Amino acid sequence: DEVLPGDPEVWKTALKAEHVDKEDTQAVANSVVRHVTTTLARQAANLDDIAAYQATALSVKDQLLKRWNETTTYHTKHAPKRVYYFSIEWLMGRSLDNAVLNLDMRNTYETATQKLGFNFEDLLNEERDAALGNGGLGRLAACYIDSMATLNLPGWGYGLRYSYGIFKQLISNTGEQLEAPDPWLDRENPWEIARIDVSYPIRFYGRVESIPNTSRAIWSGGTECLAVAYDVPVPGFATKNTANLRLWASRPIQGFDLNSFNAGNYEASVQSSSDAENITRVLYPNDNMYAGKELRLKQQYLWCSASLQDILRRYQKLDLSWEQLPDYVVIQMNDTHPTISIVELMRILIDEEEVPYDVAWKITTKVFAYTNHTVLPEALEKWPLPLFENLLPRHLQLIYQINLNFLNDVAKRFPGDMDRIRRMSIIEEGTPKFVRMAHLAIVGSFKVNGVAELHSQLLQSTIFRDFVEFKGRDSFTNVTNGITPRRWLLQCNPRLAQLITDTLGSEHWLVHLKQIAQLLPMADNAQFRAAFREIKNENKTRLAEVLASELNIQVDIDSVFTCQIKRLHEYKRQTLNIFGVILRYLQIKKATPEERKKFVKHTAIFAGKAAPGYYIAKLVIRLIVNVSKIVNNDPDVGHLLRVVFIPDYSVSVAEVLVPAADVSVQISTAGTEASGTSNMKLGLNGALLLGTVDGANIEIAEDVGEENAFLFGHLAADVDAVRYANSYNPTPLAERSPELAEVFKAIEANTFGDGHIYEPLLKPIYDNDYYLVSNDFGSYLAAERLVDELWRDQEEWTKKSIRTAFSMGDFTSDRSIQDYADSIWSIEPDPVPEN
Ligand code: F58
């Protein structure tokens, strides 16, 4: 019922001709070939896999864009309340396979490309990952937008279009991590649409003039650049609804500065334009570590300001009052990185829209909600005040005002409690002073949540305790993380997905993951177990082939594959794992040939990147790689033990590892891992959990049954006391753990190359062992012995593996997003009608 300009008949016929039927192989082939010959200007004769991939992707994008258009048109007309998910990282990975699966056109595309002479799998492998994130937080955003689209929730994602994603990890001959840039846009990105017409000016630096007798001010001068929108359509599964991920790229406002140009200073005139382009040049590669760089604050402000200008422009078309904004807009902040948007909304409302301060504050605090992802002190964002004041002078003024009002309220509630006021202030005193972004985020939000039960409790009892006492319990809640079963089962493990669909008799489980619990009784069905095990073995074989061809390492698929695949960080304790491997190696070496027969065969698989400046984390990689060189080439060891470090971990590498894992290793010091999400991916694919009582492990173990998981280690409640004892009353390492002392001795005796290299890694464990490696090593080894014992009974193992997989129904991101929609966002599904 749209009004068509010109001749409506011509329009209708043209639109019809554009329609491609889901099963129409020829029509799909036509559309691919059209892109080959026109968009790419290539000929059939010189078409390589790269170009064939691109043409296929462009053809799929056409399908997505039609749905995207229908969704946007429908939502524009309908004007439902929308959620905007603000995340500085989006770890989307590859899009082609996911898109054709969600469109229910995988078979059609596979057949069509085959008929054009290509192998679809090969084309899939030509795609570069969109790696605009570091780890869990960025991948969570990607799972969440998939679920928002699938659940038909009106929502958009907002982020940054970095020219360079997370660095490419190379491993040198000596086992050291080297970093190379990731120029992922070098080949054109077929999944985005540049919206050159959607752009907003962004100011930095400058001066502020207050307007007398008002709360308003004029911010002027400084430098300006543009934020330009790039849209990435995100299809829901089995629905027409298509979400939008809008990423901003920085551009100079004019090609060059005319004043300098006229003054004959060509270089300076071009300089200002390259400064602007630099803002979104590169993703900061830190995970769980704050680094106060001015350019990072510029990224944050550009992203937040552009996103808000965009949201408000859309809202203004509705012609409503500003007071009604919270009925139409909710913004979820993925950690504190977008916190400046609270202040930016205040600035726009007050300075530009002339809304009185108190009204603006009332509106603002009904729009924002904040998700925290860590309690680690070194990861909490706090900006040096001088840096902040220089870059965003007007925002600092508003923060002072927000803080003043806030602290006045605190003082009223807790008269005379000066220490409380110091603790809660948005400004940290000292030289220099700091702006505490988490405090600002809490003060400006109507809801704060953690990402797993334990984490949410710890937030409320430790770092945010004062705020709970002030704002009340109701302002704090938990939403346990989840992962999308479309990518993390259907796409990465198609045979297991098929087995589930066949046994349940429908595909509904893919959007109602709880239904897989109906398959729990199949654990007792020998035939089903055989089928399940066969699939696991096939996935292990596929991984083994990759390891053989890419790394020249032979692994035995009858060995237990333990997988620890995540960022390298001391708190995640890859150390425990590799020290355990070393002990196993020493034990094999000591054993007689007869005794050796009793060992359970192990393949220890590691993958993950270390932040480029994180010395200890890089040293752990070096140790893993050097241990693998010795162990894998020792004839005494044979197939009893293999150690593999897979370089350049990414979403697409994870898609090969996750379905092949037997054991999921999640062994952070209790209380440090907010949630963890690889535990969910591996568990859903049948890996048994070897984990500490931390993050989402606790809820996973509860659901799969503690008898089906291997939990060990000190509890979060005891960590402080052990830590205290370690540093103030240290006992010799050999007393805390004789086994670990033996491992350290072997390292120091140059068993894995020059032992001196590892001194900075071992010494802190000798001295104060902040992460309780020595304190947990004994119970870790005990848990490993249970793993070995169970592995000897393959039928029992498979039972537990099946129970694990089919108990994971709650860890879908659909459940998480439904929780957010119900308990925080108050938004409803608004499906686009299916014609
Ligand atoms: C992770 N955080 C948590 N941060 O560590 C993990 O427990 C949780 O499961 C996951 O978030 C999702 O909730 C994380 O990945 C980062 O990488 C930040 C990126 C930006 C700079 C600061 C760290």
Would you say the CB of residue 669 lies under 6 angstroms from ligand 1? no
- The whole-angstrom separation of Cα 776 and Cα 112 is 55
Atom of ligand 1 nearest to the CA of 135: 15
DSSP structural state of residue 491: I
Residue 262 is predicted with a pLDDT of: 67
C-alpha of residue 568 to centroid of ligand 1, in Å? 12
Residue 258 has pLDDT above 70, yes or no: no
- Same fold for the pair 289-475 and 556-803: yes
CATH 3.40.50.2000 describes domain 289-475: yes
Residue 227 is predicted with a pLDDT of: 98
C-alpha of residue 290 to centroid of ligand 1, in Å? 11
- The whole-angstrom separation of Cα 741 and Cα 747 is 10
Query: Which residue among the candidates 75, 439, 572, 714 is catalytic per the annotation?
Result: 572
C-alpha of residue 376 to centroid of ligand 1, in Å? 11
8 Å CB contact between 674 and 450: yes
Q: Which long-range contacts (C-beta less than 8 Å, at least 24 apart) are formed by 623-626?
A: 623/175, 623/578, 623/747, 623/752, 623/758, 623/761, 624/175, 624/574, 624/578, 625/171, 625/175, 626/174, 626/175, 626/752, 626/753
- The residue to mutate among 88, 89, 303, 374, having the most atoms of ligand 1 within 8 angstroms of its beta carbon, is 374
For the segment 625-676, what is each residue's pLDDT rounded down to a tens digit? 999 999 999 999 999 999 999 999 999 999 999 999 999 999 999 999 999 9
Residue with tokens 């760089």: 293
The answer to whether the Cα torsion of 813, 814, 815, 819 is positive or negative is: positive
Q: Give the confidence band of 289 by pLDDT, cuts at 50, 70, 90.
A: confident
Distances (CA, A) of 278 to 57, 174, 190, 261, 274: 29, 34, 23, 21, 6
Would you say the CB of residue 135 lies under 6 angstroms from ligand 1? yes
Residue 700 is predicted with a pLDDT of: 98
8 Å CB contact between 216 and 351: yes
- Mean pLDDT across the stretch 262-274? 72
For residue 650 the two structure tokens come to: 């990414």
- The whole-angstrom separation of Cα 339 and Cα 399 is 11
Would you say the CB of residue 226 lies under 6 angstroms from ligand 1? no
Write the single-letter amino acid at 60: V
Residue 348 is predicted with a pLDDT of: 98
Nearest CA residue ID for atom 9, ligand 1: 676
CA dihedral 26→95→546→607, nearest 10 degrees, is -170
Greater pLDDT, 602 or 729? 602
- Mean pLDDT across the stretch 395-418? 98
Would you say the CB of residue 287 lies under 6 angstroms from ligand 1? yes
Residue 3 is predicted with a pLDDT of: 81
8 Å CB contact between 812 and 483: yes
- The residue to mutate among 88, 144, 288, having the most atoms of ligand 1 within 8 angstroms of its beta carbon, is 288
Residue 259 is predicted with a pLDDT of: 65
CATH of region 556-803, choose from 3.40.50.300, 3.40.50.2000, 3.40.190.10, 1.10.287.130: 3.40.50.2000
Average pLDDT over the chain, rounded to whole? 96
- Those residues with Cβ within 8 angstroms of residue 181's Cβ, 6 or more apart along the chain or in another chain: 164, 167, 168, 282
8 Å CB contact between 399 and 339: no
C-alpha of residue 333 to centroid of ligand 1, in Å? 13
Nearest CA residue ID for atom 6, ligand 1: 676
Alpha-helical segments (H) within 447-551: 453-461, 465-471, 485, 494-504, 526-546
For residue 792 the two structure tokens come to: 């000897």
| Percent of the chain whose pLDDT exceeds 90 | 94
The answer to whether residue 601 is catalytic is no
For 320, phi and psi rounded to 5 degrees?
A: -115, 175
Residue 558 has pLDDT above 90, yes or no: yes
Q: Give the confidence band of 4 by pLDDT, cuts at 50, 70, 90.
A: confident
- Mean pLDDT across the stretch 745-764? 98
Residue 565 has pLDDT above 80, yes or no: yes
Atom of ligand 1 nearest to the CA of 455: 7
Domain ranges of the chain: 289-475, 556-803
The answer to whether residue 374 is catalytic is no
- Mean pLDDT across the stretch 744-758? 98
- Mean pLDDT across the stretch 765-774? 97
C-alpha of residue 620 to centroid of ligand 1, in Å? 20
Would you say the CB of residue 373 lies under 6 angstroms from ligand 1? yes
- Mean pLDDT across the stretch 131-159? 98
Query: Which residue among the candidates 339, 480, 677, 798 is catalytic per the annotation?
Result: 677
Residue 58 is predicted with a pLDDT of: 98
Nearest to 63 by CA among 238, 233, 237, 247: 233
Residue 269 is predicted with a pLDDT of: 67
Would you say the CB of residue 737 lies under 6 angstroms from ligand 1? no
DSSP structural state of residue 758: G
For the segment 695-707, what is each residue's pLDDT rounded down to a tens digit? 999 999 999 999 9
Residue 268 has pLDDT above 80, yes or no: no
| Percent of the chain whose pLDDT exceeds 70 | 99
- Mean pLDDT across the stretch 78-92? 98
A 10 A CB-CB count for 318 gives 11
The answer to whether residue 187 is catalytic is no
- The whole-angstrom separation of Cα 226 and Cα 249 is 8
Please list the helix, strand and coil fractions of the chain in percent, rounded to the nearest 5, in that order: 55, 15, 30
Would you say the CB of residue 285 lies under 6 angstroms from ligand 1? no
Nearest to 375 by CA among 306, 287, 481, 288: 288
Residue 179 has pLDDT above 70, yes or no: yes
Atom of ligand 1 nearest to the CA of 337: 20
List the Cα angle 103/513/497 in 5-degree steps.
Answer: 60
Query: Which residue among the candidates 82, 567, 573, 714 is catalytic per the annotation?
Result: 567
Alpha-carbon Rg for the chain in angstroms: 28
- The residue to mutate among 373, 437, 451, 649, having the most atoms of ligand 1 within 8 angstroms of its beta carbon, is 373
Query: Which residue among the candidates 67, 82, 337, 373 is catalytic per the annotation?
Result: 373
Atom of ligand 1 nearest to the CA of 379: 22
Would you say the CB of residue 674 lies under 6 angstroms from ligand 1? yes
Atom of ligand 1 nearest to the CA of 676: 9
Strand, helix or coil for residue 93: strand
Query: Which residue among the candidates 298, 681, 799, 815 is catalytic per the annotation?
Result: 681
Residue 45 is predicted with a pLDDT of: 87
The answer to whether residue 433 is catalytic is no
The answer to whether residue 567 is catalytic is yes
Residue 257 is predicted with a pLDDT of: 58
DSSP structural state of residue 475: G
Residue with tokens 């807790």: 414
The answer to whether residue 572 is catalytic is yes
Query: Which residue among the candidates 246, 395, 436, 566 is catalytic per the annotation?
Result: 566
According to DSSP, the β-strands at 641-646 and 602-607 are parallel
Residue 373 has pLDDT above 60, yes or no: yes
Residue 1 is predicted with a pLDDT of: 55
Residue 148 has pLDDT above 90, yes or no: yes
For the segment 573-598, what is each residue's pLDDT rounded down to a tens digit? 999 999 999 999 999 999 999 999 99
- Mean pLDDT across the stretch 115-126? 98
Nearest CA residue ID for atom 14, ligand 1: 137
For residue 417 the two structure tokens come to: 């409690």
